[in-house]
Amino acid sequence: MSLICRGSWLVSIALSLSVTAQAQVLERLAEKSIEAPPVVPSLTGIAQAGFVYEPVFNSRMYLVEAGVGNPETVILVHGLGQNGYRDWRNVIPVLAQRYHVLAMDLPGFALSQKPKGRYSPTQYARVLQWLVSQNGHERVYLVGHSMGGAVALRYAASFPDTLHRVALVSVAGVLQRTAFLSHSSALPISSGTAPYIDSLPASVKEMAGDQLRQWSSQVLSFAESLPDPIKILRASDTAWSTLLDDQPNANAALALIGEDFTRAFAQVSVPALIVWGDQDPVAPPRTGVLLAGQLPQARRVVLRNTGHVPMAQPNAFNPLLLDFFAGNTVASEPATPSLQNGDLVCRNQRDQYYTGVFTAIDLRECDGAVLEDVQAESIVVTDSDVELRNVNVLSQKVALQVNQSRVNMTNGQLIGAIGILAHNSQLDLAGVTVRGSVSGIRASGPSSFIFSVSQLRSPAVNRTLHGVYEIGGTME
């Protein structure tokens, strides 16, 4: 054997041993004195598991590892509920063929200990930071589902230099809590939300659905008039731990809806894949639209006939993930041909869809109208229930005027002498910048505003907005 060949062979062996040593996290961290339950049968022979001690909550965490020896690492973060890592049982075997895979039961869930403390996305992101530091790799791929998607988003904003890419799946939270909770209250009743419903006659089911939605709306309105429970609990670590002890789902859910991601979007610098089910009863698909519009390198994919757990459709979900990690182009939703007209006028029509560049837009008694990827010089909505997505208005006078209507707007800018002028209306805005050279928001009649991760700019105000506001005058 020549000296050159022998040197190459030794280098290959050294690199192989180095990769293997780096990948075997459990070999170095597992607590050997505590016997860990085995992984689920579908992962037997593929993955190993053990308990490790994480320093954020100072607790024992159940960690699953697969694909040992593969040079790149993927970390999977589960959502609410006691399934924990088992939510990924259809994903781990496929990923482990190419990647080193780490999945865990987050502190407080499934087989992990239930320590005291706030189970917030920020705290869980610190747990992930510790795990990444122990992995030995400079950068990893990160995937989060539901609550875990919010954790992954917070991690990507806080520690972007440790990531290659991030996949955000059916992310819960992000929207202001009233907007988030109202999604479920507006859905039709189905077996996905209440299993016994399917046994009821159709007429009874419809009536029950109407009554439940009406009741849910009343409860949400009443809840917003009460003192903010998140603020009360946030003021005291002792109160939080005492009231939520042994209630991990409630702990994590309250921490989740109390987390403000307004400043996080601009801090995410890595490519992001956003995956949603079109029939998600838990996380509003609107959140996916928000993320795709706000994150600088994002692609959104909606899986048809899919609920809150896209991983349950492995034939569709797994190839998406693999293509994204490999840097291949992931197809987004097909674009709708744009119109370029002068004025747009809608009168007494339902469920109309518009996209394109317009001068003035006037919608009157046009329930169900959708404006998407629209540019305009002004929009007036009267006696209508409408949705705006990725809409930008640049006006010399009033950008958006809303009269006795409901407007749901996701992503965009409303720029004018007055940004919004409302009268006896309800507006739900997410990822929207409102800018007025004279004033940002005015209401000539009492109006309700829900803002999620939005901004208000005027001569008197420059602030982020994430909350519920009742306005009967001027909000500068």
Q: What pLDDT, on the 0 to 100 scale, is given for residue 13?
A: 36
Q: What pLDDT, on the 0 to 100 scale, is given for residue 475?
A: 61
Q: Which two tokens stand for residue 450?
A: 């829900």
Residues counted in the chain = 476
Q: What pLDDT, on the 0 to 100 scale, is given for residue 476?
A: 60
Q: What pLDDT, on the 0 to 100 scale, is given for residue 136?
A: 80
Burial 233-270 (b: 16+ CB within 10 A, else e): bbeeeeebeeebeeebeebbbbbbbbbebbebbeebeb
Q: Which two tokens stand for residue 71?
A: 């040079």
Q: What pLDDT, on the 0 to 100 scale, is given for residue 79?
A: 94
Q: What pLDDT, on the 0 to 100 scale, is given for residue 221?
A: 43
Q: What pLDDT, on the 0 to 100 scale, is given for residue 333?
A: 55
pLDDT lower than 50: segments of the chain = 1-23, 185-226
Q: What pLDDT, on the 0 to 100 scale, is given for residue 241?
A: 65
Q: What pLDDT, on the 0 to 100 scale, is given for residue 426?
A: 94
**DSSP-assigned beta bridge partners for residue 393:** 376, 414
Are residues 283 and 421 in contact, defined by beta-carbon separation less than 8 angstroms?
no
Q: How far is CA 430 from CA 306, 412, 434, 456, 468, in A?
A: 24, 9, 11, 12, 12
Q: What is the CA radius of gyration of the chain?
A: 25
365-407 per-position pLDDT tens digit: 999 999 999 999 999 999 999 999 999 999 999 999 999 999 9
Q: Is the dihedral of CA 210, 302, 90, 143 positive or negative?
A: negative
Cβ–Cβ contacts within 10 Å for residue 12, how many? Answer: 10
Q: Where are the alpha helices (DSSP H) in 426-473?
A: none
